[in-house]
Amino acid sequence: IPGCGSSSSKEDIAPEYQTICEEYKDVSPKYVFSYAENQAKDYPTSLGAIRFAYLVHQKSKGRIQIRVYTDSELGDEPDLVRELTRGGLDFIRASMSGLTEYNSEANVLVMPYLYKDADHMWKVLDGDIGQEIMDSFEGTGMVPLSWYDAGVRNFYSSEPVHTLEDISGKVIRIQESDIMEDIITDLGAVPYPTMFDEVYSALQTGRVDMAENNLSSYESMEHYKVAPYYIVDEHTRIPELQLISQTTYDKLTDEEKEIITSSAQESALYERELWKEREEVSRKRVIEGGCEIIYLSDNEKERFRKVIEGVYSKYCGDYMDLIERIQKY
């Protein structure tokens, strides 16, 4: 069913999406666009993508169809970003850490312990600073459309961790990111960049001792089954972007651009709601699965923060004003 998700089987798609597709099934589309996701089909960002496709299909009365490919079907995140910049893909949803390579201002949003809490982050992203950061993608070959929630990232491990010393010398899976490499090294551990869909086997075979991600990814990818200690240190809160390729964007009329941007905004609000629900479901699932969630003491979190604060001057030297504005927001 074009425009309504990754699946070719009708049964896999929620009835509301089927209905709308039926409505416009005889319209021959002007465009059939691709949208790539590396998360599972039932994950909040994927459901947000499907909602986006549905909204665009509906608002364009079937003229713009978007096929959503989930589960890394079209490739790993770094490849998807590269393809997007070249116009080989029309849309993706990507973690901010994979975008810093193309836009150094994006480094700011990957900095550890940047916000007080989630509310603080959303005030920043929904305000003028969020817009400024979106604008800073000009010239990269991609155009940001909306911010998606990805919670807060924590470590997880096959053994309990209560102090900084407990992670010393441990091999920790990270995304392909220079900033994360430095953070892990500063913590006294060994960074090991690995693609997202290979983390489970890296943990299972003992190639890595630990990894780090938000609770819902930890649950959805079943990492909790091979690393049963989830350590709440809240080192980064990395938002995600829905992006369109510049090549695709430039083809659109003003009216089509409006349909795309308004649908992206609406789908983002939907995703944020789903995110909150999924975090709770994930929490229950991992606890029922026998995991232990360990909350680091404030004192210990402060020790983590202190040893990694060097990344601010190393990666954000040109953006210290922006960081100050974020912290004061």
Q: Kindly tell me which of 95 and 248 has the beta carbon lying closer to ligand GCU.
A: 95
The 156-175 contact track toward ligand GCU, x by CB under 6 A, reads: -------------------x
Structure tokens at 7: 């699946």
Output phi, psi for 106, to 5 deg.
-65, -20
Q: Does 46 bind ligand GCU (CB under 6 A)?
A: no
Using CA atoms, how far apart are residues 28 and 77, in angstroms rounded to an integer? 31
Helices 128-135, 320-328: inter-axial angle, 10-degree rounding: 150
3-state secondary structure 285-318: HHHHCCCEEEECCHHHHHHHHHHHCHHHHHHHHH
CA distance 81 to 95: 10
Count of residues making up the chain: 329
Beta partners for 171?
190
What is the end-to-end Cα distance of the chain in Å, rounded?
44
Binding-site member from 157, 217, 245, 248 for ligand GCU (CB under 6 A): 217
**Nearest distance, CB of residue 46 and ligand GCU, angstroms:** 10
Q: Which residues touch 193 (CB under 8 Å, ≥6 apart)?
A: 173, 174, 175, 176, 177, 181
User: Could you say which of 46, 58, 70, 95 contacts ligand GCU (CB under 6 A)?
Assistant: 95
Least distance to ligand GCU, CB of residue 196, Å: 4
Q: Which of residues 139-158 bind ligand GCU (CB under 6 A)?
A: 150
Q: Is 213 in the site for ligand GCU (CB under 6 A)?
A: yes
Q: Among 77, 178, 209, 271, which residue interacts with ligand GCU (rule: CB under 6 A)?
A: 77
Q: How far is the CB of 277 from ligand GCU (least distance, A)?
A: 16
Q: Residue 71 CB, nearest distance to ligand GCU (Å)?
A: 12
What track of x and - describes contact with ligand GCU for positions 5 through 44 (by CB under 6 A)? Answer: ---------------------------------xx-----
DSSP notation for 213-264:
E-HHHHHHTTGGGT--EEEEEEEE---EEEEEEHHHHHHS-HHHHHHHHHHH
What the block records as the tokens of 247 is: 């090549």
If binding is defined by CB under 6 A, does position 256 make contact with ligand GCU? no
Binding of ligand GCU by 246 (CB under 6 A)? no
The site map against ligand GCU for 259-298 (x = CB under 6 A) is ----------------------------------------
Rule CB under 6 A: which residues touch ligand GCU?
38-39, 77, 95, 150, 175, 196, 213, 217, 240
